[in-house]
Amino acid sequence: MSLLKVEDLKVHYPVTSPFGETKYVKALDGISFDVEEKQTFGIVGESGCGKSTLAKALMGLESPTAGDIYFNGKNANDLAKGERYKMIQMIFQDPYSSINPRKKAWQLIAEPLMINQQLPKKEYFDRACELMKLVGLRPELAHRYPHMFSGGQRQRIGIARALILNPKILICDEPVSALDVSIQAQVLNLLMKLQDDLGLTYLFISHDLSVVNHISDKTMVMYLGKIVEYGKRDAIFEKPIHPYTQALMASSPSLADKDPNIKPISGELPSPLNPPTGCSFHKRCPQAKPECSQNVPFLEMKSNRAVSCPIV
């Protein structure tokens, strides 16, 4: 059984224009995948394709419009919030805005533990200090406030806070992109070590394709709320077959050592309020055929991966 299973998940946000007309942003529009225990599931796609919306839906911070989420075979709707938070936690992109500046490091880290339990303060403090050691922060810093830490240290506080309930799954939503390049590798190495030591399962969202190539077991490529290609990491990176995946990889500076000719993806990202008919990528697709503007593609197994394009 998969640790996480997502079935036909949709999150549609209503948006009302100044003239009173309501339209929907289909931030997630029928996403299905599963994640095995202790693996890293990489998620890539341009800005606005729905990656953070997926993270929020999995955390229970956003209610799905339709579809189901299962943790260890159990429907997430049947889990109490506390149970869900022991299953899945998240670290955020920006360690500056995602933590409360008025709390001390140990309080920030222990906070998820304090919500449901009444323990003596010293127990929370001791547990927070254990977590600080785990993420490479000296426990002597426990009484400091966030502004006294560097960006990398703050992200470590965020990681400690996410781990204090011993979750099985950690969502890392662009965990290093707000950090100095020199610090990024340290935080990534810490995440990889924690995964090994604690047997964690990661959902890893990143713009940096070389990082996703490096750490993921499976990779999912999204475009405008849908999956375009999804499968084992080596299949996807060694031989991408969806024209969007190919374009995304060709446009990635971080994969440039493979092919030094970086080519931006042609055309503009369509408005999510008015996505094109048929295949939503067809207007930018170098391989598009006339029927692509009519027929909505669906995921099919081809060459060891699922791909949503009938012409490749």
Ligand X SMILES: Nc1ncnc2c1ncn2[C@@H]1O[C@H](COP(=O)(O)OP(=O)(O)OP(=O)(O)O)[C@@H](O)[C@H]1O
| CB of 174 or CB of 229, closer to Mg ion | 174
Q: Does 146 bind ligand X (CB under 6 A)?
A: no
| Segment lying near ligand X (by CB under 6 A), choices 1-9, 45-53, 133-141, 284-292 | 45-53
Q: Following DSSP, what letter does each residue of the chain receive, concatenated?
A: --SEEEEEEEEEEEEE-TTS-EEEEEEEEEEEEEE-TT-EEEEE-STTSSHHHHHHHHHTSS--SEEEEEETTEEGGGS-HHHHHHHEEEE-S-TTTSS-TTS-HHHHHHHHHHTT----HHHHHHHHHHHHHHTT--GGGGG--GGGS-HHHHHHHHHHHHHTT--SEEEEESTTTTS-HHHHHHHHHHHHHHHHHHT-EEEEE-S-HHHHHHH-SEEEEEETTEEEEEEEHHHHHHS--SHHHHHHHHT-GGGTTT-S---PPSSPPPPTTSPPSSSTTGGG-TT--GGGGTPPP--EEETTEEE--TT-
| Segment lying near ligand X (by CB under 6 A), choices 44-52, 147-155, 196-204, 294-302 | 44-52
CB of 119 to ligand X, least distance (A): 35
Q: Does 52 bind Mg ion (CB under 5 A)?
A: yes
Q: Does 206 bind ligand X (CB under 6 A)?
A: no
| CB of 12 or CB of 86, closer to ligand X | 12
Which residue in 4, 6, 9, 25 binds ligand X (CB under 6 A)?
A: 25
**Binding partner of 13, given ligand X, Mg ion, none, CB within 5-8 angstroms per partner class:** ligand X
- Size of site (CB under 5 A) for Mg ion: 2
Q: Does 226 bind ligand X (CB under 6 A)?
A: no
Within residues 51-110, the interface with ligand X by CB under 6 A covers: 51-53
CB of 213 to ligand X, least distance (A): 18
Which residue in 3, 6, 9, 27 binds ligand X (CB under 6 A)?
A: 27
Residues contributing to the site for ligand X (CB under 6 A): 13, 15, 25, 27, 47-53, 272
Residues contributing to the site for Mg ion (CB under 5 A): 51-52
